[in-house]
Structure 1
Amino acid sequence: MRIDLDAWGWAADTIGELDHRRLKAPSVKLRGVHAGAGGDVVCTIDLRWRLPNADACLSTVEAHSLEHFLLEGFGRLLPGHFIGVGVMGCRTGFYLTLLNEGRREVIEQTLETVLYGVLGATAVPYARIEQCGHWRHHDLAAAQAVAREVLAQRAAWREIA
């Protein structure tokens, strides 16, 4: 199966592993595309919100709360495509995994909607004791501050390196 990455809106020279000294943040980058034998396509997207190796990583409480918002938002807005989201170990962003959806415009619009939802939220989703393994480890105001920061730089999301 041939995947037309140009039609999806991704610059070929920004896909895959890049020198982390050159990465910009915040940015939205296609990390990988994998086509299955049955025709399904799995896409992994870097949602890079902080500069690597700049001592500016997300705090654990920011990352945890934002992970919950991304989980809820992408799951609700792209239900047939959302596989999962995880915090990057370096805490500079998140890995988003989607099934049969790799269009940059759709991903960025959905992310923007999720982040505006963070700004208007009155609570972190899935943050009750029966839903979260560290349910007291959330900070809505901190998540909102990061969302505001990332949204303020929306025009630069395509500047990868």
Structure 2
Amino acid sequence: MIDFEALGWSSDTVGELDHRRLKAPSVKLRGVHAGAAGDIVYTVDLRLRRPNADACLSSTELHSIEHFLLEGYGRLLPRHFVGIGVMGCQTGFYLTLLGEGRRAVIEDALETILKGVLAADAVPYARVDQCGHWRHHDLARAQAVAREVLAQRSAWRDVA
């Protein structure tokens, strides 16, 4: 049994929630799965825009932020980072980690990554040899999203 509170998560917000209640930006534990060998996989909802509020991210914002999250979590949590997936609704990302479910670690890494977006002069992995749609990036818009999300850092735990 996972002690969600010890990891920094409010147990009443773990799992699927009514999307009409979700707030953004927020960081929420979506799922926890134990493997046969005892490994624990954590899925985290990195919600940057509020669902159904006509404020979804553009495809270039999503694509560019995805590249920053891929590079950043891979660099900051290399033993734990499994992957990052774009939400089809264009309001955020699903982060998958192996053996790391502490909210503070995940949020601190996100903050570091977003600050890196603001200081960047290029989107990572955005060359023709690294990206299947390499011209479909917008650093300035990614920086605007990062600035917006960082400005609300104190509210990331207020998920619903």
Fold match, TM over 0.5?
yes
Distance 2:108 2:46 in 1: 13
1:103 aligns with 2:102: yes
Distance 1:85 1:131 in 2: 16
Instruction: For structure 2, list consecutive stretches of 5 or more residues without a partner in the other structure.
Output: none
Q: CA RMSD in A?
A: 0.5
Deviates more, 1:35-44 or 1:65-74: 35-44
User: What is the identity, as a one-letter code, of the residue corresponding to 1:41?
Assistant: I
Distance 1:110 1:7 in 2: 19
Q: Deviations over 1:46-78 (max 9, x none)?
A: 000101001100000000000000000000000
Match of 1:14 in 2: 13
Distance 1:28 1:38 in 2: 28
How many residues are paired up? 160
Distance 1:149 1:6 in 2: 28
1:135 aligns with 2:143: no
In the TM superposition, 1:1-161 aligns within 5 A as 2-161=1-160
TM-score by length of 2: 0.99
Distance 1:98 1:32 in 2: 11
Distance 2:154 2:108 in 1: 12
User: What is the identity, as a one-letter code, of the residue corresponding to 2:10?
Assistant: A
Shift of 1:5: 1.1
User: What is the identity, as a one-letter code, of the residue corresponding to 1:121?
Assistant: A
